[in-house]
Amino acid sequence: MEEIDLKLKADGIQKKVISPGKGELSTFPNGTKVKFHYRTSLCDGTVLDDSRTMGGRSKPMELILGKKFKLPVWEQVVTTMREGEIADFTCDVKHTALYPLVSLSLRNISHGKDPLEGQRHCCGIAQVHSHHSMGHPDLDKLQTNPQPLVFTLEMLEILPPGSFQLEIWAMTDEEKMQAIPQIHEDGNALFKSGDISAAAEKYYSAIACLKNLQMKERPGDDQWIKLDLMITPLLLNYCQCKHLLGQYYEVLEHCSSIINKYDDNVKAYFKRGKAHAAVWNEAEARADFARAIKLDPSLETSVAKELRAMEDRIREKQKEEKGRYKNLFNYNSKASAAASTG
């Protein structure tokens, strides 16, 4: 163990064991899957990320060794850990320069966003040293002023190659394409069973996978279009889940992105109309529903039902507001009368 610590130290990494693990140290051959919790801090103790709280939930990090993760130092340090071990790794700047990019992807994923959002226009070291805002002040600051970081890791599980099913992100491009139909089916099954959140995660997983493949193609080329046509129905299913979960503005955003590319997509207009109705955008809802009927007249009955529901909600809202104004007027009148008699 002392030899491992000396090697780390020589490479600009200081390891401090907080709680020792159990068993023998694995040889960590390529293809080993490690699952661990992480907390990333500045040297002054300021916490940047914590897998136990990121996105409002506790979700451990999973790595498959040998897959060239964007932050190589994590692959390096986890191979010094046993299951159950907790340790601090203080890493020099040469190991942490790309952390803002990694953090941005992890934050996006934890909030159900595209992991590549905010990384579209430049990449790698060039992006880290650019003036492109990442949308997070702490990451912007770290981007312009790289510094050593402390990674506190808790090793939860070490799985040897062949003992687990590959996650999408660890698959080859060919394996991803083969897996998409099954993930789509799994999402549909979860949706039918009423597990809407889990269904949304499945759809999102497939979308992120296809977008990753699409990023390797030239926009507008045949393969790019083919992938986009695979993404669209998954994104519509994802929007259906988000609507049921009450996340209407996300539905508006995604449906608009579909309509901007495919202005004859009737499902996108219908779903966007429902989302507009849910957030009291009456004029926009009516316009989208009208467009949906024009594209598919068979939707007239469904649209009429949605319009009635929207009108009922608007009347109920107006009635409630009228009641509040009336109570406020009565209160002010009584207060004025009391003041004049006093």
Report CA-CA distances (Å) from 307 to 273, 276, 277, 301, 302. 10, 11, 8, 10, 9
pLDDT given at position 114: 55
Phi/psi-derived region of residue 34, left when phi > 0, alpha when psi is between -120 and 50, beta in every other case: beta
- Burial of 216 from C-beta contacts in 10 A (0-12 / 13-18 / 19+): exposed
* 110 occurs within a structural domain: yes
Residue spans of alpha helices (H) in 145-221: 173-193, 196-214
**Contact assessment for residue 39 and residue 49, using Cβ atoms and an 8 Å cutoff:** yes
Integer Cα distance of 282 and 268 in angstroms: 17
Q: Are residues 102 and 143 in the same domain?
A: yes
Q: For residue 243, what is the domain's CATH number?
A: 1.25.40.10
Q: Are residues 155 and 173 in the same domain?
A: no
Task: Show which of 159, 184, 218 is a domain's final residue.
Answer: 159
Please tell me the total number of residues recorded for the chain in this structure.
Answer: 342
Q: For residue 15, what is the domain's CATH number?
A: 3.10.50.40
- Burial of 165 from C-beta contacts in 10 A (0-12 / 13-18 / 19+): exposed
Report CA-CA distances (Å) from 280 to 254, 287, 289. 18, 13, 14
Report CA-CA distances (Å) from 5 to 11, 29, 120, 128, 257. 10, 20, 38, 29, 50
Query: What six digits make up the tokens of 112?
Result: 């159900």
Which residues span the domain enclosing 27? 2-159
Q: How many CB atoms lie within 10 A of CB 32?
A: 21
Q: Are residues 132 and 35 in the same domain?
A: yes
Query: How many domains would you assign to the chain?
Result: 2
Q: Are residues 32 and 176 in the same domain?
A: no
Question: pLDDT per position in the chain (342 positions), as tens?
Answer: 688 989 999 999 999 999 999 999 999 999 999 999 999 999 999 999 999 999 888 889 999 998 888 899 999 999 999 999 999 999 999 999 999 999 998 998 887 665 555 554 444 444 444 456 888 999 999 999 999 999 999 999 999 988 887 777 677 888 889 989 999 999 999 999 999 999 999 999 999 889 989 989 999 999 999 999 999 999 999 999 999 999 999 999 999 999 999 999 999 999 999 999 999 999 999 999 999 999 999 999 999 999 999 999 999 988 887 777 766 666 555 555 555 555
- b/e map 228-241, b = 16+ CB within 10 Å: bebbbebbbbbbbb
- Burial of 298 from C-beta contacts in 10 A (0-12 / 13-18 / 19+): exposed
pLDDT given at position 318: 85
Only one residue has tokens 């007027």, namely 329
* 276 occurs within a structural domain: yes
Q: How many CB atoms lie within 10 A of CB 28?
A: 17
Q: Are residues 12 and 150 in the same domain?
A: yes
Q: How many CB atoms lie within 10 A of CB 87?
A: 21
Q: Are residues 75 and 173 in the same domain?
A: no
pLDDT given at position 133: 82
Which distant-in-sequence residues (6+ apart) come within 8 Å of 115 by Cβ?
105, 106, 108, 109, 208
Which distant-in-sequence residues (6+ apart) come within 8 Å of 162 by Cβ?
31
Integer Cα distance of 302 and 298 in angstroms: 8
Closest CA to 152 of 56, 67, 77: 77
Coil/strand/helix, residue 294: helix
**Contact assessment for residue 277 and residue 251, using Cβ atoms and an 8 Å cutoff:** no
Closest CA to 105 of 144, 179, 156, 54: 54
Only one residue has tokens 């949906």, namely 292
Q: Are residues 226 and 299 in the same domain?
A: yes
